[in-house]
Amino acid sequence: MNNLKKSLKTSKIQQSGKGIGAQDNAGNAGSDLIVENNLKRVLTSLDDTKAENIVTIDLRGRSPLADYMVIASGGSQRHVSALADHLLYAVKDFNNGPTKVEGLSECDWVLIDLGDIIVHLFRPETREFYNLEKMWGQPENDDAVALRIGEN
């Protein structure tokens, strides 16, 4: 849990120097605070269920799909299923309408769309094959940072 607390503090590094919850041009400080709290709940749920290699990518200003993408691995299909089930229970009261879930029947790659946060849960082999971190990684000249949970 200490790694999670440390990583959440680190995750305040964002593009254009603003932290999560900082007021943007549209004055959405309240909305950003809700997204920050929801992101913390997602990361806590994944940490509690022993997700591996958790990565958070800031998509704000880069994609209209979501503000954040979270990518994590489970050691087996059963582990990926448990990660998804625990996460769905932890976020059931997010006020974003129905949560959209894909891939739960196979559990090689489970996508959970929480509105402002998109979560991808993979088996390691599937994650390596699709390599979303490379696809959505930060451009070299961008100040935004992809954060790997547990690394300094």
Per-residue pLDDT of the chain (152 residues; tens, 9 = 90+): 444 443 443 343 233 233 333 334 444 666 788 888 899 999 999 999 999 999 999 998 888 989 999 999 999 999 999 999 999 999 887 766 678 999 999 999 999 999 899 999 999 999 999 999 988 875 544 444 445 544 44
pLDDT for the residue 23:
38
Contacts 24+ apart (CB under 8 A), 102-107: 106/77, 107/74, 107/77, 107/78, 107/80, 107/81
pLDDT for the residue 93:
78
pLDDT for the residue 95:
61
What are the tokens at 82? 């448990």
Cβ(26)–Cβ(60) below 8 Å: no
Domains of the chain by range and CATH? 2-148 (3.30.460.10)
pLDDT for the residue 42:
95
What are the tokens at 151? 């690394």
